[in-house]
Every structure is written in structure tokens, then in C-alpha cells.
Amino acid sequence: MNIKLDQPLERTAFVNARLLDPATGLDAMGGVLTDGETIADFGAGLFENSVPEDAKVIDCKGACLAPGLIDMRITMSGSDLETIGSSAVAGGVTSAVCLPNTNPVIDDGSVVEFVARAARKAGLVKIYPYGAITKGLEGVEISEMGLLAKSGAVAFSDGNNAIGNAQTMRQALLYAATFGLMIIEHPEDPSLAEGGTMNEGETATRLGLPGISKLAEILIIERDLRLAQDTGGRIHFAHISTAESVAAIRAAKIAGMSVTCDTAPPYFALNEGAIGDYRTFAKLSPPLRSEDDRGAIIEGIKDGTIDAIASDHTPRHEDEKRLPFAQAAPGGVGMETLLAITLELVHNGHIGLIDALAMITSGPADLLGLSGGRLKKGAPADLVLFDVEQGWKVDADELRSKAKNTPFDERPVQGRILRTVIDARTVFKLDA
């Protein structure tokens, strides 16, 4: 059940909840009290003695209550805000950051403001925009990043386009550094990736498909680390997928560089074998890698090299996926499976529940300077209620997203969203 943000507000007491706040490490039975659109109080043992008489009571029945998820990488191009919002809240996502590859491109302050207004009007998930690094995402002329930031852009990216020209990237890092802004790179050398359709290696050879070398990712990362070191710029690498990438970023962090990165669920939950017999839902950008790479991504999450997990939600029309593998468009939807696949890291014993939630709440919030992602008095009451153990099976046909291109179709998972709350209003409730 989806509910838009136009309900009348009333004081609400969430009782009998397992409170989880990754920002502080809180994990205790307690409750949350909302007043207006904000958190009025929360904590272990709250409501043990009584509940305010004027408050509506929501009994969480021992389920986990945490800050709403923050998804730091989604694509809105080709999808309407209603569809994006419905998919987001069904996945427990209360804030999402969209790539600038919209129509028109987010390379002007007026477009930043338009995206924010349109999201508010749609009345579901909170949308924050990235500004384009270069005008028109063409990789040539640097955009007015300072003005875009003033209009509300939270960081800068050219979406799924790497900055192929080293001089252009150097200028972008220099310009961004003067304003303290973060550059987000899609690390894939376009000249090495051109014409490729999946990870280069034995599987690609067996399937007769042209491969994309892992060098396409690592060369851009190593180049940009050098440029960031030279300029003092703040660099973030999106959806890293290889062992070499993890090693390079780990070494840069140890050396004290201002570098961060994220990955996406397919890169720690799947490998290139998921392509099977030319399964286009598993065609992603970057491509699914080897089992060794998948293991290295998990290690990068465990040791803190990887700072966040983003869904990399990329809706594709059926006509773009129902094609021969080489012609099919890359990308998969991911907001509705973000929590469940992230929880596989917990169920498989790799990291604890608080640490997993930090990757999709306080982690991205801290990277982007967003107000959500934590339980805090006076903060917006953006919450997610979920059952960490409840099993279900991903069914592409049952996704609320109009696009059904999930690489996790038919996968058994554990972790079910029961309720999503934005500004103290329930916007999603799992049908009984």
C-alpha cells in the first residue's frame, strides 16, 4: 500500500520496536515519538511506563525500526517520479540521489530546482540531484559547479560517463576543490570499454561475447587518484567492482587521501555466472565480475574501504532488455531489493546488522551532507520498519517499478519492509 504525503499529521508513538541507529550504534528495544514532521523523542525503554494520551500508537511487534534508507545513486531518466517514488518507498528508501542524466541534463541551476520541486509535488521519496561535471555530460566543458551547488546539487557526476580526458578531470577537481565539493566518477575508461558487453574472461569467451577488461575500471581509478592527490580534490568512485579497485582505494586511504567509494548489491551478491545463457537482466554497467572480485568487494565492505552501498537503480523499458545480449541496454532496478540484498552480508556472517545498515543510511548521508540517515531529536521523521528474518522471493512481475529488469529475479532473500515513514507520514505499508 502506497500513501502520498498529504495525510493530516498526528502525534505518533512507535512502540515495541527494536531500535537501530547506525550513526550511534544503538540497538535496543524502545520506541520513537513523532510530533509534526519530526522526531520528538526516541530511545531504549521509551514508553515502558506509558504512552502520551494524545498519540496514535503503532505497535512494531518487535520488528526493527531504523532511519529511512538513503540511496545515493538512482537513474530517473525514462521513469516518471510517481514510479520512482512508489518503488523507493516499497524498498524503505526515504531519500534518493539522482544522476544528472535527466532530460534536460542537470547542468543548470534552474534544472536542479525543477527536480526538487517535481519530487515534492509527487509526494513520495525525497529526491536530491547530482549536478553534471561537464555541460551536457559531454566530457568537454566544466559546468558551473559553484552555482549548481548553491541551487541544491549535493555532489557532481557525469552519470554513467567517465571523464575520459585527464585534463578535463584535473580541471574539474581543481574547480570543485575551491568550493569543497565532491566529484563522483564512473570508473570505466571509455576507450577500453567500447564494444564490450560483459566482463572479459573465460565466461565471455565461452558465450562468444566481447569482453570489457577490468583495466577499464582500475586505470581510471589510478589516474584519478593521482589527479586528486595533485589537486587536493575530493574524489568518490561509484559502484566499484574489482579486486584491484578495492586494493588501490584501500592504499590511498591508508596514505591519507580524501577518497571514498561505494558499490552496488550485484557486485557482492552476484558474479558473471549470473548471465547464464545470455540473461540480459544481468547485463549491468560496470559488468558483473569474477567470483574472486565478488569476494574482494565483500572484504572491502568488511574492512571499511567501501563507504556505502547504492542500489544503482537503472530502469529499462522491456524493449531495451528483450534483445540479443550484445544489443541489450545495461542496468538493473534495485531500490526494492536494496535492503534485502544488503542483509545477505549479515545473514552470511560477513558484517553485523548495525554496520550493514550504516552502508545504506548514515554512510551515504555523511558522504553527501544530507540530514537523514540517523535517529535524532528534531530531525525529519524518516523511518523504516522491517523484519530482518522474514523470507520472500524476488519476483520481477511483482515489483512496483514499471521497469522489471532486476538481476535478482527469482532469488530467495531475507529481510522484508513492513512500513516506510517520511516526515512522520506512512507512505508505504506491506499488505497483510
**Catalytic amino acids?**
312
The DSSP annotation for 226-255 comes to HHHHHHT-EEEE-S---HHHHHHHHHHHHT
Place of cell 569467451: 205
Partners of residue 156 on adjacent β-strands = 131, 183
**How far apart, in whole angstroms, are the C-alpha atoms of residue 4 and residue 1?**
10
Q: Contact, 154 vs 116, CB < 8 A?
A: no
C-alpha closest to that of 136 among 161, 105, 176: 105
Between CA 363 and CA 23 the distance in angstroms is: 8
The β-bridge relationship of strands 64-67 and 383-393 is antiparallel
Q: Round the CA-based radius of gyration of the chain to a whole number and report it.
A: 21
Closest C-alpha among 157, 151, 113, 150 to residue 131: 157
CA distance 151 to 294: 38
CB contact at 8 A, 125 and 87? no
Q: Which whole-number Å values give the CA distances from 25 to 84, 100, 232, in the listed order? A: 31, 34, 32
**Angle made by CA atoms 275, 400, 375, in degrees to the nearest 5:** 100
* Residue 145 DSSP SS3: helix
Instruction: In whole angstroms, give the CA distance from residue 421 to residue 14.
Output: 11
In degrees and rounded to multiples of 5, residue 122 shows phi and psi of -65, -30
DSSP 351: S
> 384 near 92, Cβ under 8 Å?
yes
- Integer distance in angstroms from the first to the last C-alpha of the chain? 10
Angle at 402 between CA 401 and CA 406, to 5 degrees: 60
Residues 312, 309: Cα–Cα separation, whole Å: 9
